[in-house]
Structures are given as C-alpha cells and as structure tokens.
Structure 1
C-alpha cells in the first residue's frame, strides 16, 4: 500500500511539473509594427484548372489586420476578397495578379493560369511540324500555324548521364507541362525529340559526337533508352516521339545498319496508345541530307514509322551558295521514296535560319576543315533586322552573301509537297522565326499547304 501511495505521489508531481513548465514555455503571438510588410504564403507560380471548374486561390497573409486585396486578371480587377474564386469562359493562358496593401505598405504576387479543355486535334490539309529547342520558350510559339509541335531535345549520352543515359532536365527549364497544355488547348499535337548533342540554331550534330549511336549499340542500353523516353513522354502527356540520329558517320566509316535496324524496329514494342487519328502514339524520325543519307535506310523498312522529317538544308559549299536549294528538297524526298518510304510519310523540312559567307581575302584556301571560320548561321529573326523586307527575298548582299528561305522559296517547296502527295512540311526551329504574321516563315508555309 505504501508503494502504491508513493507511485501516486510521483505521478501527481510529474503532472504538476509538466503543467508548470508548459505555462513557463508558452509561446506568445508575435507583435507587428504598422509598417511591417504583409507576407503572402501559399502562392504558386502556375495554376491549372479545367474549363468546367472554377479557379480557387487561397492564400495566407501575415500580418493580416487592415489588409486590402486586389485580384487582377490580365490587368483588369476581378475581386477584392481575401481569396479568389473565378470561373473562366474560354480555355487559354492567363496572368493572375494579387496586390495587397497594409497601412500603405504593399506586396504583390503574379502567376500563370492555364485553363484547360479536352484535347481535340485541329483539322488540317497537310502537317505543319515545328521544332522548338531549349533556346526558345512558349512565348515563341504561334500554335495557329502548327499541327504538330516537337520539343527538342532529350539528349542520349551514357557518359554524361550514366544513371539515366537520357537527359531530360531541359523539361523543367522549358516548363514542358505548360507547353503541352497550351498546345492541346490549341488542338496541336506535341512530341519529344530524342537526339545527340547538337547546335540549336541549325540542328546539326556536333562533329564526331556519336553518343546516341554508342548507347543503342548495346541491347540492354538500347532498351533503357527507349523505355526511358517513352515513360517521359507518357508522364508529360506527350503525343509521340521523334528520334534524330544527327551524326551518321563514325570516323573510319558509317554506322552499322544492323544496329540501327534493331533500334528502330524495337521502338514500337514500347509505344502506348495515343491520340492520333487511328489511336496511335506518333513515332517519327528526322533524317539529315547529304552524302550519308543512306546510312539511315533501315527506317524505310519499319512500317510503324508514321513519317520522316527530311532535312534538305545545311548543304554548305566551299564557295558561296544556297545551303537550302530547291533541288535538294526534291532530291532528298526522291531518295527516301526510292528506299521504300511512302510519299505520304515524307515531311519536307525548311530552315528558319540562313548561312552567311565572309570569304578570306588574304589568299587562304577554304577547305572543309576551315569553312566554319568563313560561314556562319543566323536566325531568320536576325536576318530581318538586317533587312526588314528579307521575307520577300532569299539572299541578302551581306559580306559574300547571306542565303536563306524567304516566302517565295517556302511557296515553291510547298508546291512540291502538294504536287507529289507528301505528308507536309517541318521547320527548324520555331524560336528562330518571327511572330510577325506578315513575315513569318511558319505562317507562310501553313498557308501554302492549304491549312487556312
């Protein structure tokens, strides 16, 4: 019994001490000065909402006494309540802005709102495929002139990325989810470009870089490359994948056609269903022109390939001349048709950049080893700064000549597409074009294909 009383006394004593200590350590609410900045908590940079639902933004403000609120949508005030509830009428991308004030002390926040609708692909006469590289952004894209957007690029390089083999870190910087939703709202398909390292302005591979080919030369790594990019595409709600082996010459010789055939033939085993016209997930490839074209001929035997983006540009010469001549457009298409690729699966490419020559005058011989010193690429936007009427021409008299595709050249190539029954056209790359509709190459091609 004495032991029982002792336990009771100890328990009561501990309880008393706990209460005493809790009172001693009770944290008091902080006080605020009249000129303290009211802080905003719970704010996001991007909000998404379906067109059928209302947007809710609930934030916490501290200190909140005496705070006034002003919610603005694209510059117009829509509410003065502490939290926002808003129903949109149209699917689009909006800017929402919150301005608060406490005793004359302001604070603000701004975010993007993506109002979504179910994806309904637009109707078109011929495909207009545009490539957007990580040098560009959503602000560069005019979806009204596109049927398919290809986001470039996921690099295959097992040395640089030993754990994943494929680098997709570009996706965060480019905000791929927002690009996809904006494209889908406009009825445009979105695809992922999988490549070697390259020069963004012209889409050319870096000299001697065979990282893509080296990775797929091993069966296990090949499987990892395919499964990784398919998972990325599915996770980001993309509609397809484009593969671009942009270096097709390996030092002493060409790439092994058996390895290329194995790779391109295995891809379909990994593809999910998709939103294509026949429920397909798009599977395409880009092929450079030039003397190594036939290296990628195994593509023609893969029935599952939806189309090939041919690149009849970057035809540099040791003397000033067009790098994107009309004859190359037709010849490269004919080459692929000769290899067995159906005409309707040919998508003919044109550049949104030009090649400027500035040849040496000191007697230096120009060779393939030093041509890069005397020939430089320039975006179409840059060309327009040199001549505001450049879209009406195809060459500027700058140095030893700046050669590019103007509207007349685009029309000429579109006529070939229409006359020969090709699948459409593609442009590299969107951020190099202008969004001025009167001068845009993309707009000119879209119209020339009969899509408007």
Structure 2
C-alpha cells in the first residue's frame, strides 16, 4: 500500500507522548438505518480491522429509560442467509423468545472475533434533547443507569456509549458527571462473573470549543474508559466561508478565516484526560459546497450529496471530473470541480495514514470512524479502514469481549452462557 507522506512540517510531539504499551483501538459506528437504502448489514462489517463497534443510536424516554431507536432493525428483523454472519437464515420459531435483528448478528460477530467489543450508543444529534432533564433528576438518572446495564445484559453487549450533543450550561456539564457516575456504578453492579473485564463506558464529545467548553473533563475521567473525539464537522454550511472539516493543523498561510483543527482539540483534551483514553474521530464522508472557488472562500448553497444535502459518502469521492488535493502541511485533503464550482472537504487515505501516525506519535488511544457505511472503495489503496489499520501498526487492542449473559431477557443469548 502507498502510505503517502506521514509527517508534515509540524511537530507531532508538542506534548510528551504516553509511554503506555497498549495496543491501539480502531472503532467504527454502525448506524441502525444502514440496513435500509444503504444495504449495509452487520455481515458486511470488516471486523478483521476493528477492535470496537458502536451501535447508533438508542433514544431516551422522558422517564429516563433508554429505549431502542428502531426495534425492528435492532432486535426483530429476520435476515436471509446472505445477510447473516454465520450464513444461515434466521428462522421463525414458536414458543421461544429469541433475539434477532442487528444485535443478534453483532453477537455472532463477537463470537467469531473474541477481541471485538460492541457498545450501544445513546443520543446523537437527533436524540440528545432529553439528556439535561434526565441527568438533573435523581430518579430519572437511576432509571437511565439501570436500563443501560439491562441493555448490555439483554443484547449481549460490552458497554454503553453516551453521545450527548451537547451540554450547554455549567449545570448541565456537572449533571453529565453525575449521570456518568450512576452509569458506572450500575455497570459495575451487573458485571458478569464469567469475565473480569469491566463493561465499557465511553462518551462521544465535540471538538469545537463551543461544544466542549462546559464539559468537566477531569471529573468525567473518573468514570469514563474512552473519549471518542468527534474530530470532524469543524467546518460546514453553517459557516460564512468554506473550510476544512477535519484538518489536523492550521493553515499558516490563511489569516482571515476561523480555523478549528484536530490538533488544537486534542491539545485541549490531553491537558485533562490521559492520552490513552483519547480516540481520534475520522470522517467517512465529505462536506460539500456549491458556487465557490475552494477552501476559505464564499459559497452559495450545497450539493444534494449521497444521502443528505451537503454530504457525500467517501466511496463517492472524489466526484467525477473533480481534482483531489492532499496537503500534508495541514493534514487535509479535498476535491474541487472547477466546472461545477463544487468543493468537498474530506479525509482521503493519505490523511488517514497521517492522522493514524499522529495518534501513534502522540500516545493516543486510537482512531474511530463515523460511520462504517461510507468508507468502502473499489480501489483497495484508498480504503480508509485498512489505511488506518496498517498505519496503527496492524495490531489492535486485544481486550477480550463478553460472551456470557445468563441474565439476558432472550433465550438464545442466555443459551450461550458458560
């Protein structure tokens, strides 16, 4: 594989790297809705190149209970044999209470890959509305924590990922800490005796100053195993001018445009969180702009995109007729179509390689992708997941997953208990 330039003119050791010998994490979000128009199933996941999967998303009931976002996709759908991990069609069975849907397939994937951990991600952009009222109410908080533990046991999971977008006051930031404390306690109380590895508690956090300024990071660190840094969407159609959505470094040639960078965000988090807990987010999509001349320019509207306006899957980039550019000095890539006046900011394989090397140099925990359906490529050299895997050293976290759930609500998950 052509690795491309891995180092820029910037130092990647502004702060001392961790001396930890931990193997890196490589995680990916799997969205429940991927099984519909995207036609991407659990069986399509390249689990050989992943250590963690985060399932997006669960919602929150107003009483504090975590509820599945799409019960049919999550626990009910019967897949045909060409859509299953074990290549056997799900059978309809009477008088049994079996788990089906994506979570059954994820459990089978875990059995095939004993070091693959799966967490249920709660919230996200659309379903974070109730976090403040739940986190600030002691009874609702307890229900949230208890239901988090119950979902792990019922669905055969390894952890809970909380994606609160975003605490907006000091009070909410402090309530977030209390919520994490309660969840950690509930996970510890329900820990399986068959596996001494604690259940995971992770959080997805924004990398723009307005998104992390109310986070009480030092206190959160007491309860959180992994901080998934959403190091993308640092520029988009909400800005006055175009920019790079996930540049590693600032462009020193530009002075008149606000630049948010991955390095700046990581520098902030690393002051308060151990580096091995920080997992850098990588986009498997591009942010696009219409009627513009390229980076740091005015624009007028956004293209239709692959599935939503202004956003293309990485596998659809660069667009036909567009020129792709990689700048190792800032750790960013983009494409521009002069005829259509269309600019798209995204991470290509060279940027992913550079960022993965940065992760290793800085002693960070690893990388994760949002989200797995966008990164496939007919050109294996451009595949983002394998680019990250090889640049992280080709060896990933070997912490064992959980496979025994004797208290599961589902007959087939209980039957695997040892």
TM-score by length of 2: 0.66
Distance in 1 (alpha carbons) for counterparts of 2:48 and 2:384 = 13
Distance in 1 (alpha carbons) for counterparts of 2:242 and 2:323 = 22
> Match of 1:220?
139
> Match of 2:165?
246
Assess if the C-alpha contact under 8 Å between 2:290 and 2:302 holds in 1: no
Alpha-carbon shift at residue 408 of structure 1 (Å): 1.3
SS in 2 for 1:425: strand
Within a 5 Å distance, the mapping from 1:9-408 to structure 2 comes to 125-136=23-34, 137-158=41-62, 164-168=65-69, 169=71, 170-172=73-75, 173=77, 174-196=101-123, 198=124, 205-206=125-126, 210-249=129-168, 253=169, 256-271=172-187, 272-273=190-191, 279-290=197-208, 291-298=210-217, 300-316=219-235, 317-327=239-249, 328-338=261-271, 340-359=272-291, 376-383=310-317, 386=320, 394-398=333-337, 399-408=341-350
* Bigger Rg, structure 1 or 2: 1
> Match of 1:95?
none
Assess if the C-alpha contact under 8 Å between 2:121 and 2:161 holds in 1: yes
5+ residue gaps, structure 1 = 1-122, 199-204
Distance in 1 (alpha carbons) for counterparts of 2:128 and 2:248 = 29
Q: Deviations over 1:77-106 (max 9, x none)?
A: xxxxxxxxxxxxxxxxxxxxxxxxxxxxxx
Distance in 1 (alpha carbons) for counterparts of 2:25 and 2:151 = 24
Assess if the C-alpha contact under 8 Å between 2:177 and 2:219 holds in 1: no
1:445 aligns with 2:388: yes
> Match of 1:428?
370
SS in 2 for 1:135: helix
Assess if the C-alpha contact under 8 Å between 1:261 and 1:299 holds in 2: no
Alpha-carbon shift at residue 383 of structure 1 (Å): 2.0
TM-score by length of 1: 0.61
> Match of 1:109?
none
Distance in 1 (alpha carbons) for counterparts of 2:112 and 2:324 = 33
Assess if the C-alpha contact under 8 Å between 2:128 and 2:163 holds in 1: no
Structure number with higher relative contact order (C-alpha < 8 Å, ≥ 6 residues apart): 2
5+ residue gaps, structure 2 = 1-20, 35-40, 78-100, 250-260, 328-332, 396-418
Assess if the C-alpha contact under 8 Å between 1:153 and 1:192 holds in 2: no
CA RMSD of aligned residues (A): 3.3
Q: Give the length in aligned residue pairs.
A: 310
SS in 1 for 2:216: helix
Alpha-carbon shift at residue 154 of structure 1 (Å): 0.8
SS in 1 for 2:381: coil
